[in-house]
A = this chain, B = another copy of it.
């Protein structure tokens, strides 16, 4: 992952800690306690180094958090990537939500979502940081919107489907879910919201979905090329 070649024998005293590992430890602390409530002394102690070393390596606190955010957005891309792993839009969104929930309550890191928490108090953060956080949230909106747009092209969603609104809806819901996971609610509790959320795609619910879809099609004659539920339904193990 390191972008520079470690060769080219550097001149001065070598760094006594690993930059990536330092970012990881910072990530965990910022995730757990947020930007404002994580002190650089804390981070320094977690990294096993003194404060000025951090300043020398990363700049000030804001710059460090910036880099941590970029690092986190890597982890965060998993639920987004899973969107393209299912050709059926319903399965894709299902897996997206499922993976989002799982990521917010798995072991080895704090609960919830660093980005969602940072977004929650983005108004209290340095303006540039806030801007970056909003940009990342926007990216998430866009990613979901892209997937929905593809589903419209495929005919899995009606031509007049509100792609942007639904994408924003899904990310917004996941932010709320992240807050609840962070507050200690169980995964099982949160999964109950998934079924309700999936209805945003239309009423293909359980086994009546196909027949209801047919009725809908008969009623709206305007939009011709509509093929609800293309039925390629590979097994969905929900990934976790």
Q: Report A's interface with B, CB cutoff 8 A.
A: 33-34, 36-37, 116-117, 119-124, 130, 134, 137, 162, 164-166, 168-177, 179-180, 182-184, 189-190, 192-193, 195-197, 199-203, 205, 208, 211-212, 215-216, 219-220
Supplied contacts A175-B175, A175-B176, A200-B200, 10 more A-B pairs, CB within 8 Å: A34-B124, A122-B182, A122-B183, A165-B193, A166-B193, A168-B192, A169-B197, A172-B193, A175-B179, A175-B180
| Cβ contact of A216, chosen from B170, B197, B208, cutoff 8 A | B208
User: Which residues of B lie under 8 Å from residue A196 when comparing CB positions?
Assistant: 162, 165-166, 169-170, 200
Identical chains in the assembly: 2
What distance in Å separates the Cβ of A102 from its nearest Cβ neighbour in chain B?
16
**Residue in chain B with minimal CB distance to A110:** B123
What distance in Å separates the Cβ of A36 from its nearest Cβ neighbour in chain B?
7
Most chain B beta-carbon contacts within 10 A, residue among A33, A173, A208 = A173
User: Which residues of B lie under 8 Å from residue A169 when comparing CB positions?
Assistant: 173, 192-193, 196-197
Q: Is the CB–CB distance between A123 and B182 below 8 Å?
A: yes
Q: Is the CB–CB distance between B124 and A33 below 8 Å?
A: yes
| Cβ contact of A120, chosen from B117, B190, B203, cutoff 8 A | B117
A-B interface, 9 closest residue pairs, ranked by CB to CB distance from nearest: A203-B203, A165-B192, A172-B176, A120-B120, A169-B193, A176-B176, A196-B200, A169-B196, A175-B176
Q: Is the CB–CB distance between B162 and A37 below 8 Å?
A: no
**Residue in chain B with minimal CB distance to A209:** B203
Q: Is the CB–CB distance between A179 and B120 below 8 Å?
A: yes
Q: Is the CB–CB distance between B199 and A203 below 8 Å?
A: yes
A183–B220 Cα distance when bound, in Å, is: 38
**Residue in chain B with minimal CB distance to A32:** B123
Q: Is the CB–CB distance between A34 and B215 below 8 Å?
A: no
User: Which residues of B lie under 8 Å from residue A175 when comparing CB positions?
Assistant: 175-176, 179-180
